[in-house]
Amino acid sequence: MCYSVSYLTHKNEIYARRLGIPTDKETSFFAQLDQIRNYIGVAWYRSGFEFPGLPVLTFFPELKVIPGFWGLIPHWAKSKDKQKDLIKHTLNARIETLLEKPSFKKATEKNRCIVMLDGFFEYKHIEKKAHPYYITYLDKRPMLIGGIYEIAPDNIPFSITLSIVTKPGNALMTEIHNKSQAGEPRMPLILEGDYLQKWTSSPAQEAIQECKNLEINNLTAIPVGSLTGKNGIGNKPQAHINIHLNPTSQ
């Protein structure tokens, strides 16, 4: 799951409030956000398998907004062929096995981050047909998603590579993500309040134990038109428009 995401613009002040950015630091923070968005472009819809850049918050030694390459490359993957093969499998990282998987262990222990998104896309399968939904907050505020990263090798045009961390789905995702390759509904690790600091600052095992049980229920699933293919919407504002589709009536 979570192989397609969205991030937009003009939400600087909301991010600043949610992250507790001091007033005297806001100008620098806003400039970083604008610079990153100009660099990676606006995304209404992005597939992970395009390996796009995503806006990322890192906190050591200080808070910075940087572009991250979606598809984590572990430090031990030296050859380009190995790296190319790995990134197809490291778009997401299951929170339950972060410290078990060789690709994720070091990043989880040393390099946890926050991915800045407006929402993500998921498919509901009904009678062999997949219906896309855009998942976002009810009040449309931006999401802050737990991630892990590694310093990027020289051949990658970003300073870091990253994975989005996932956890078992809530009630909404159980309804929507009803044909998961993982065998169960999944969702991104959406963080709020004190859990932002817990994820980025606590020891790895403690961060996992505390954050994996955070319940996020103030979400909505918006049915949208076909995103890909010959007649797909692609990276356009229409990717967020409710088409008033009722799949159960099809």
Domains and CATH numbers, the chain: 4-249 (3.90.1680.10)
* pLDDT value at 246 more than 50: no
User: What interhelical angle do 12-19 and 26-40 show, nearest 10?
Assistant: 130
Q: Parallel, antiparallel, or unpaired for β 219-223 and 129-137?
A: antiparallel
Q: Who has greater pLDDT, 183 or 134? A: 134
What average pLDDT does range 90-107 have in this prediction? 97
| Alpha-carbon span 179 to 49, nearest angstrom | 19
Q: Is the dihedral of CA 143, 144, 147, 149 positive or negative?
A: positive
User: From CA 87, how far away is CA 51, in angstroms rounded?
Assistant: 8
The mean-pLDDT minimum among 16-30, 44-58, 84-98 falls in: 16-30
Average pLDDT over residues 176-204: 89
Q: In the prediction, which pLDDT does 234 show?
A: 93
Please choose, from the candidates 190, 87, 104, the residue with its C-alpha nearest in 3D space to the C-alpha of residue 148. 104
